Amino acid sequence: MRYIWITFVALAALMIGVFSWPKQQPGSSLKNQPNREQLPMESAVWTSNRSAKPLPDSVVRFAMQQLGTNYCYAGNTPATGFDCSGFVQYVFNQFKIEIPHSTSLLISVGRSVGRTQARPGDIVVFTGTAATATTPGHAGIVVSEPGQPLRFIHSSSARRESGVKISQVEGTDYERRFMDVRRVL
């Protein structure tokens, strides 16, 4: 009876080892297979390594997936819709970056960079729509490259074309309302 149990345990251990062994692709060796640390950030938008930062392109690509989502005052999910800071918060939270759901607090996140140095993934902050406004009232995420006209994705409450969309700063009322560009990546 002892030999039966030893044989059973040995076979069970062998089966566990076979099924948990890394799968090998036909025509390749395990040496050529990338491990998790070798995979580019594009393969896994976020890794368990807390020191790794998401690529700005990944942030912008995720934000673009929200285009057309409805505007909703105080909203912060695609199911209910977004307000401007709720949209920014939602996008960055997907990458484990805590952002406040308050435009007045967004002016102090990360570090300030010059408007001409704005790059994809930066946060852009504007005053409110009133002509006399001097405090933060709107925000979005930069999608343009340095040297190009400053374009950003945001959730707009505009009567015409409200919701998540892309807008440009130059030549629009956003130019008058521009306050700062904040880099958090």
DSSP 126: E
Chain centroid offset of residue 71 CA? 19
154 is catalytic: yes
SS3 for 21-39 is: CCCCCCCCCHHHCCCCCCC
Could you say which of 101, 119, 138, 151 is catalytic?
138
Angstrom distance (rounded) from CA 185 to CA 174 = 23
- Residue-level length of the chain: 185
101 is catalytic: no
Look-up of token digits 């979005």: 140
Exposed e or buried b for every residue in 16-35, given b needs 16+ CB within 10 A?
A: eeeeeeeeeeeeeeeeeeee
72 is catalytic: no
Could you say which of 154, 165, 177, 182 is catalytic?
154
Look-up of token digits 């790059």: 119
Could you say which of 60, 63, 72, 84 is catalytic?
84
Planar angle of CA 171, 173, 176, nearest 5 degrees: 95
Which residue numbers are catalytic?
84, 138, 154
